[in-house]
């Protein structure tokens, strides 16, 4: 690519085409469905089982604050606004433990 082509490409508003190296929706080592980490999926599944933040924290040996942070980030990533919506998403995705 020439310097002029590179500048034109950089200044264009076009989205780059997906490459073959794009991660699949459910990757083995990366982030799976919805862009959630393994821990976020694990906590989402526990929320779907009806556990409180305190119960989740006890089960995973982490602080309630950490659980709350994971839930908040998960809701944001998925564009959800409540634990019940998260539960519905978990059931749809069939990620219950």
Residue 93 lies in a domain: yes
- How many domains does the structure of the chain reveal? 1
Say how far apart CA 82 and CA 84 lie, in whole Å.
5
Can you give the CATH number for the domain in which 91 is found? 1.10.10.10
Residue 7 lies in a domain: no
Residue 97 lies in a domain: yes
Question: What is the average per-residue pLDDT within 81-95?
Answer: 91
Say how far apart CA 25 and CA 28 lie, in whole Å.
10
pTM of the model: 0.65
- What pLDDT, on the 0 to 100 scale, is given for residue 35? 85
Query: What's the pLDDT tens digit per position in 35-85?
Result: 889 999 999 999 999 999 999 999 999 999 999 999 999 999 999 999 999
Residue 4 lies in a domain: no
Q: Give the DSSP letter string of 20-84.
A: TTPPPSS-SSS--GGG--HHHHHHHHHHHTT--HHHHHHHHTS-HHHHHHHHHHHHHHHT--SHH
Kindly state the DSSP code that residue 4 receives in the 8-state scheme: H
């Amino acid at each position: 690519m020439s310097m002029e082509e590179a500048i034109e490409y950089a200044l264009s508003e076009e989205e780059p085409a997906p490459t073959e190296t794009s991660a699949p929706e459910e990757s083995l080592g990366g982030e799976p469905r919805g862009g959630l980490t393994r821990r976020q999926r694990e906590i989402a599944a526990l929320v779907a089982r009806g556990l409180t933040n305190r119960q989740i924290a006890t089960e995973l040996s982490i602080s309630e604050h950490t659980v709350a942070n994971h839930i908040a980030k998960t809701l944001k990533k998925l564009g959800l606004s409540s634990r019940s919506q998260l539960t519905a998403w978990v059931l749809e995705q069939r990620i219950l433990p």
